[in-house]
Amino acid sequence: MVKIKKWGVLIFCFFIFTGIVWAENIEVYFSPKGNCAEEIIEEISKAKESINISMYYFTSRELADMLVWMKERGVKVRLYLDKSQETGKYSKASFLMNNGIQVKFKSGSGLMHNKFCVIDDKTIITGSYNWTKNAEERNDENVIILHDSDVAEIFQKQFRKYWGEDLETNIKERTEYQEVKKKKPERKEESRDVELRENFFTSIKPPLMNFDMDIGEEFMDSEDDELETGDYKYLTTTLKLDQKINFRLDYTVGIKQRWKDYEEKNRDNQASIIFLDMNYRLSEPWTLSFGLEEEIKSYKDIGYDYNEHGIWTRIEFEKMPWQTWFKTGYALADYKNIDNDKKDFFYEVGTSRYLFSKQSSLDMKYKFFLRDYERTGKGNKIKQAVHVGFKHQF
């Protein structure tokens, strides 16, 4: 009887121990309101080598941005999607391919109805959850995250079959990669702080340089302001550096050169603008931005010069191919030649229509200014502007 009890205790402890280990290897989440997308993003962020995805529907901009971010960090990202995603209105397939990610589509009859992701041959994300906004916010779905290299190999084998990949070649490449990895010198033990700092800086890619050209026409209506009123054409060129910190946060620094040509008055001017923009992507499709600007403007025909210091914030809603935003800010202008300093509180509503790709767009916006002349006693004045233009990024 004593022996039976001892064996019973051992068996009970074994099942308790294995049950704990099993629970640690599996995570289960439900939507809506289960933060499934955040959990998927967290797992994807841990990838070091590869992310292979087989998905029926893929329309989530948030998850698409994360995959682009991982690809830029050197992770190999591949997707195999249902054929409906090749031309689907909200599909992120084109966005991913335009950012250098490999995407293939199922051909032939039947649906590609899988929903799984394999990360580094050791983690699987699967369940009923398509990578869509509806799955996150409306549908009753489940996400299962499994950390098991043996099970991951089964899913990986199926993905390679879909991809049309030669199994022997794949095994050879992986073997060579593992041998190279083994030859790397072992790192000495370092503090956790140093390791985290190194991982942070090595994950940041060099900034990208872009050149923009913006051309269009504005009509400015201002109370008692002879300098800035009337119809004029403008040309703006921008040289900028775009730097991603992570898939949500990025910043841009650059310089603009702007020329304005008034049709009826000798008020032609040019300006040089140094700027810093910070952009934080909220939940899809919202982005919050902050900016600082320093402008030096010169009226060539009348000899007026001034410096303007500005700060602004902007909330943006993007639903391809449209982009809509609301912007508000404050600017202080300091004239060098005349006693005419002024403050502007401004509000702007605008919309853009992308053409062919995100490199080109038609822009329309309306600006409303509340202007206060500090020293001249002119008081508050209202200033309005309607803007129509074409913008292209080279």
The reply to whether the predicted model has a pTM over 0.95 is no
By CB neighbour count within 10 A (0-12 exposed, 13-18 middle, 19+ buried), where does 11 fall? exposed
Q: What is the DSSP string of 36-63?
A: HHHHHHHHHTT-SSEEEEEES-B--HHH
Question: What does the domain layout of the chain look like in residue ranges?
Answer: 25-202, 207-393
pLDDT on residue 8: 52
Catalytic site includes residue 212:
no
Strand-by-strand arrangement of the 76-81 sheet: 26-31, 141-147, 123-127, 115-119, 50-55, 76-81, 102-105
- For 207-393, CATH number? 2.40.160.40
Strand partners, 274: 255, 294
pLDDT for 176: 45
Residue 15, class by beta-carbon neighbours within 10 Å (0-12 exposed, 13-18 middle, 19+ buried)?
exposed
CA-based diameter of the chain, in Å? 108
**Which of these, 213, 151, 223, lies nearest to 393 by C-alpha position?**
213
Catalytic residue among 92, 106, 115, 240: 115
Please tell me the distance from the alpha carbon of residue 180 to that of residue 176, in angstroms, as a whole number: 6
Q: For position 339, what pLDDT does the model report?
A: 61
Q: Give the pLDDT of the chain (394 residues) as one tens digit per residue.
A: 444 455 554 544 444 444 433 445 889 999 988 889 888 988 998 898 999 999 999 999 889 988 988 888 889 999 999 999 998 888 999 989 988 899 999 988 889 999 999 999 999 999 999 999 889 888 999 999 999 999 999 999 999 999 987 554 444 444 444 444 444 444 444 444 444 444 444 445 567 788 888 898 887 776 555 556 667 788 899 999 888 777 678 889 999 998 888 776 666 778 899 999 999 888 767 889 999 999 888 876 666 677 888 999 999 987 767 889 899 998 887 766 656 667 888 889 999 887 766 678 888 888 887 867 655 455 566 778 888 888 887 7
Contact between residue 328 and residue 311 where contact means Cβ atoms under 8 Å apart: no
- Name the catalytic one among 104, 120, 121, 343: 120
Secondary structure, 3-state, 363-385: EEEEEEEEEEECCCCCEEEEEEE
> Which top CATH class is 25-202?
alpha beta
Q: What does DSSP say about strands 50-55 and 76-81: parallel, antiparallel, or unpaired?
A: parallel
Q: What does the pLDDT read at residue 388?
A: 86
Q: Is 115 a catalytic residue?
A: yes
Which entry of 6, 46, 48, 113 is annotated as an active-site residue? Answer: 113
**Encoded tokens for 289:** 């931005």
Q: Residue 238: what pLDDT?
A: 92
Please choose, from the candidates 355, 308, 370, the residue with its C-alpha nearest in 3D space to the C-alpha of residue 336.
Answer: 308
Per the CB < 8 A criterion, the answer to whether 69 and 145 are in contact is no
CB 344 within 8 A of CB 370: yes
